[in-house]
A = this chain, B = another copy of it.
Amino acid sequence: MTDFYPSRHAAKPEMLPRRDPVFHGTHDASSPLSRAQSEKFERDGYIVLQNIFDADEVRLLQAEAKIIMANPAALDLYTIVTEPGSDEIRSVFRIHDQSPLMSRLVRDERLAGVARYLLDDDVYIHQSRLNYKPGFRGKEFYWHSDFETWHVEDGMPRMRALSMSILLEPNTANNGPLMVMPGSHLKYVTCVGETPDDHYLTSLKKQEYGVPDDAALRDLAEVNGIDAPLGKPGTVVIFDCNLMHGSNGNITPFPRSNAFIVYNAVSNKLQDPYGAKKPRPTFIASREVKPLHIVSGALTEPVL
């Protein structure tokens, strides 16, 4: 199988062209996004949707996130990632399998329908997680393209996936919000260094391989600057799988929290990893390709 996006092989980093569309479909009157939104996603690699959930739905999601975080014993232990050097929970993976409400959320037409439209294919969940960046001592996430890791470590062949972050706390300029480099998704920044075995055990806390070089980051940031999409709880940030993104630490007392969903096109199913001996565990990168059954209507308390 041809490797269109080689990385972690060469001694020097390179900036390669993207070989896949960003917006895979075509816009028409029945599309779930406007033409301007579709074009912005294609050009900048991200869009922000405000007010797609009503206040009751947002409260429901926030309450569910608190319940999940407060009851680690109810979770599969291996799906929990803590802050470096502490027991504070940083992420819980595979939330769509561990919470009926989150299972309903990932199938929601307002999210999954948009993913299907942008990727022009049926979609499935490559990864889901709940992220929590605590106040006072929240650590940074350094710059990275998710696709580089998904390709090298998980075997995702092409750029036909996207992420959605559903904010559960206010994202302000000051509490370490997601930062993106608009337009960076059109280049593929290769990284140096071989991937160590079981890299995921440390990379989810602090990444040391699959890290882009300073010169590439400076080039990308100088072309189009850096955006930090902000918003109140319920805001949805949708971004392409190859968009360079990261976040500063957070010394403010105000934590950040979001539900994070990665949709992949069913035609883009995982192969053997392109730069690791064995694929990462399925709680980080699902290998089961089952087209999502998309559901419409308001989110409500699931009946158990």
Contacts and interface: CB of A to CB of B under 8 A. Distances in A.
Interface of A: 135-136, 140, 142-143, 172-174, 176, 179, 214, 217-218, 221-222, 226, 228, 246-254
Given A173-B228, A226-B174, A253 B214 contact: yes
Given A173-B173, A174-B226, A140 B249 contact: yes
A252 B221 contact: yes
6 closest Cβ contacts across the A-B interface? A173-B173, A218-B253, A248-B248, A249-B249, A221-B253, A174-B226
A251 B221 contact: no
A178 to B, nearest CB: 11
Instruction: Tell me how many chains of this kind the complex includes.
Output: 2
Contact of A176 (B135, B221, B246, B248): B248
Interface SS, A side: loop
Contacts of A172: 226
A292 B174 CA distance: 37
Contact of A226 (B142, B217, B221, B252): B252
Given A135-B218, A143-B251, A214-B253, 5 more contacts: A174-B228, A222-B253, A247-B251, A248-B248, A248-B250
B214 A136 contact: yes
A210 to B, nearest CB: 15
A179 B252 contact: yes
Contacts of A226: 172, 174, 252
Contacts of A252: 179, 221, 226
24 contacts: A135-B214, A136-B214, A140-B249, A140-B251, A143-B251, A173-B173, A173-B174, A174-B226, A174-B228, A176-B248, A179-B251, A214-B253, A217-B253, A218-B253, A221-B252, A221-B253, A221-B254, A222-B253, A246-B251, A248-B248, A248-B249, A248-B250, A248-B251, A249-B249
Contact of A179 (B135, B142, B174, B247): B174
A90 to B, nearest CB: 16
Contacts of A218: 135, 253
Given A248-B251, A249-B248, A217 B173 contact: no
Nearest to A219: B253
Q: Which among A172, A174, A250 has the highest number of chain B CB atoms within 10 Å? A: A174
A251 B142 contact: yes
